[in-house]
Amino acid sequence: MTTSNPRTPSTTKSAILAILLAACGLVVAPAIAAEVSFSLDITKFGKVLNSGNQCGPTSTANSFAFLQNAYPNVYKDDNRIIRDKDGAITDDVAKTRDALAGGWGDKTGGKAGMGTNGTQLKPWWETKVAWLENWAPGKTRYDAQMFNEPDSKNWTKGGGIESMYPTFTFMWDALNHGADIELNIINKGFTKAHAVTLVGMTFDDKNDNKKWDDGESLKMRFIDPNDPKQEKADNVQPRELSVGKDGRFEFTWWQDKDTYYIDSALTETPVPGPGSWLLLGSAGGLCAYRRRRAIA
């Protein structure tokens, strides 16, 4: 993990400098706002291409590759999580994608996948949990913010799910704590959905308070299953985010140039890890329940 947010001089030193300059008849220049950025090591993620309408399984497999590569002391030996449909350890992340989509065998018989032609949030979440608990039981913490999923507390390992649009604080803190993060994005017309893997965020700290505030430029960088190696000219990264309805984050998706919003953010963090950190946010005004479209 890398960060471009250097430590600032202490308040005491700054105050002393201001007094000395004032005594000399000089004016203290205002601090220049800095761009604050944080990114996970993108080389540790999988770069598997979407196959058909399997962006959910693909983004998840690319995230699982990050977990295994970034935390070799957690997901090691019999707890390795990059496997094929028969449970065999492999280096081929595409085989993990296919198993997450179509199902896999394990010691108890077999597990259903999240689907090969799009998926809903519940099977996406529960398949991810089933996979990690199957091959690395007790090694992972699960958190999420999902818009309008009030029943998610009853899902497997659903205690860490909040029913709300993902907030900056949630995503930023997850990145800074080394979690892998999958995003469910939906177009404003609510006719198309997609899944990507978040790897970094950047904001322009205009007021120098070391946190993002509404009105400050905010961008995100992600691995898109439809162009995981970023070979397409239109897939320009990072993408500028804007604040839309009910505080949700919106952006222009590179492939169809339509406006999408971040509907859900799903995270996994290795255990043992920073178990005390809390991802908090404000729910804002939630609309009435709407039927979800499959994530393709």
Average pLDDT over residues 76-81: 96
- pLDDT given at position 210: 86
Q: Give the integer Cα–Cα distance in Å for 111 and 102.
A: 9
pLDDT tier for residue 294 given thresholds of 50, 70 and 90: low
Is the pLDDT score of 20 beyond 70? no
Is the pLDDT score of 100 beyond 60? yes
Model pLDDT for residues 193-252, shown as the tens digit of each residue: 999 999 999 999 999 988 999 999 999 999 999 999 999 999 999 999 999 999 999 999
pLDDT tier for residue 34 given thresholds of 50, 70 and 90: confident
Q: On the CB side of 97, how many CA atoms lie within 13 Å of its CA?
A: 23
Model pLDDT for residues 159-184, shown as the tens digit of each residue: 999 999 999 999 999 999 999 999 99
Is the separation of the CB atoms in 190 and 203 below 8 Å?
Answer: no
Residue in this structure with the two tokens 């300059």, named with its chain if needed: 21
Domain boundaries, the chain: 37-270
Q: Give the integer Cα–Cα distance in Å for 113 and 99.
A: 7
Is the pLDDT score of 283 beyond 50? no
Mean pLDDT of the chain: 84
Q: Give the integer Cα–Cα distance in Å for 32 and 128.
A: 43
Q: Give the integer Cα–Cα distance in Å for 50 and 60.
A: 11
Q: On the CB side of 177, how many CA atoms lie within 13 Å of its CA?
A: 24
Beta-strand pair 140-146/161-163: parallel
Look up residue 201 and give its two tokens.
Answer: 């965020």
